[in-house]
């Protein structure tokens, strides 16, 4: 935890009392004493410092001041076919840490319908995993996660509007076309399919909407590896 992420509900004026997971981490890893200063941030707000007033085995009380902006968001939208639930759970923190602020989960013929009933999709769990990613990256802006469980209406009705004005790509392991470019300038949209990639008719639907089909090189990657590798390539080169 490189930043202690706070919500407005945590605050009482300029003070905060922290318990639970955050308190445990502070106590075990940061080991502050009264007077210590810790990096704090307000969800969807600024970053600042928290001065420890009191600390014990149950809570940490701090006086906080927020004064600087979080890192600039990455101007990209990630469209991803719903992965296996445990993979998705791990991915959320990585995506948040990389600065993506809009994630759209979609269905695909290779996605098992049971995935959509997984408890990892509960709002509380999604928020927890995204929070962990933000704390790691010293960011405060919470990503938006949308679900689209019907492929055809999404591809035909929504996708053209989503990609309008962006550099839009669909990463497909069997694409004979260009490799995904590095350091994409401006807004982008990136679609990544399930294990084995999207089916040909699904790829065609993305191309008809205006996405360019690209690959990530000669190696076939797992979804969790492909997402991190692709976003890193597009944003950090």
Domain CATH code at residue 53: 2.40.240.20
> Apex CA 212: angle with CA 207 and CA 215, to 5°?
115
Extract the tokens encoding 54: 């009191």
**Distance between CA atoms of 192 and 199, rounded to whole angstroms?**
12
Q: What is the pLDDT of residue 96?
A: 98
- CA dist 229 → 9, 50, 52, 70, 78 (Å): 36, 35, 39, 23, 13
Same-domain check for residues 45 and 146: no
Q: Is 67 exposed, middle or buried (0-12, 13-18, 19+ CB in 10 A)?
A: exposed
CA 49 to chain centre: 24
Q: Could you tell me the pTM of the whole model? A: 0.95
**Distance between CA atoms of 11 and 17, rounded to whole angstroms?**
8
pLDDT tens by residue, the chain, 237 residues? 899 999 999 999 999 999 999 999 999 999 999 999 999 999 999 999 999 999 999 999 999 999 999 999 999 999 999 999 999 999 999 999 999 999 999 999 999 999 999 999 999 999 999 999 999 999 999 999 999 999 999 999 999 999 999 999 999 887 776 889 999 999 999 999 998 899 999 999 999 999 999 998 888 889 999 999 999 999 986
Same-domain check for residues 126 and 222: yes
- Domain end position, chosen among 47, 68, 89: 68
Range(s) of the domain holding residue 82:
74-236
Cβ contact 171:190 at 8 Å: yes
Adjacent-strand bridge partners of 12: 15
User: Which residues have C-beta within 8 Å of that of residue 76, sequence separation ≥ 6?
Assistant: 100, 102, 166, 184, 187, 188, 189, 190, 231, 234, 235
Same-domain check for residues 64 and 115: no
CATH number at residue 148: 3.40.1280.10
Q: What is the pLDDT of residue 135?
A: 98
Same-domain check for residues 157 and 45: no
- Domain end position, chosen among 38, 68, 98: 68
- CA dist 134 → 1, 44, 116, 130, 157 (Å): 9, 11, 25, 6, 32
- Of 79, 34, 40, nearest to 52 by C-alpha is 34
- Domain end position, chosen among 68, 94, 116: 68
Residue that has been written with the tokens 């976003």 in this structure: 231
Give me the number of domains the chain comprises. 2
Same-domain check for residues 30 and 94: no
Same-domain check for residues 85 and 41: no
Calculate Rg over the CA atoms of the chain.
20
Q: What is the pLDDT of residue 111?
A: 97
Same-domain check for residues 97 and 180: yes
Q: What is the pLDDT of residue 90?
A: 96
**Distance between CA atoms of 151 and 183, rounded to whole angstroms?**
29
């Amino acid at each position: 935890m490189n930043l202690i992420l706070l919500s407005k509900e945590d605050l009482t004026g300029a003070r905060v009392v922290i318990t639970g997971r955050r308190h445990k981490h502070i106590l075990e890893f940061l080991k502050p004493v009264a007077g210590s200063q810790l990096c704090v941030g307000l969800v969807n707000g600024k970053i600042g410092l928290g001065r420890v007033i009191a600390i014990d085995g149950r809570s940490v009380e701090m006086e906080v001041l927020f004064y600087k902006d979080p890192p600039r968001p990455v101007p990209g939208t990630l469209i991803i076919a719903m992965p296996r639930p445990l993979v998705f759970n791990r991915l959320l923190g990585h995506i948040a840490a990389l600065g993506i602020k809009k994630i759209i989960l979609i269905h695909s013929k290779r996605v098992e319908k049971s995935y959509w009933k997984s408890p990892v999709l509960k709002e509380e769990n999604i928020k927890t995993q995204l929070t962990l990613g933000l704390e790691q990256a010293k960011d405060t802006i919470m990503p938006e996660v949308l679900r689209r469980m019907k492929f055809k209406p999404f591809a035909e009705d929504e996708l053209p509007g989503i990609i309008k004005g962006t550099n839009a790509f669909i990463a497909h392991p069997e694409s004979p076309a260009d490799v995904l470019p590095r350091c994409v300038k401006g807004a982008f949209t990136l679609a990544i399919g399930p294990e084995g990639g999207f089916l040909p008719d699904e790829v065609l639907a993305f191309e008809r909407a205006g996405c360019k089909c690209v690959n990530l090189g000669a190696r076939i990657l797992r979804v969790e590896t492909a997402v991190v590798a692709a976003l890193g390539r597009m944003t950090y080169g």
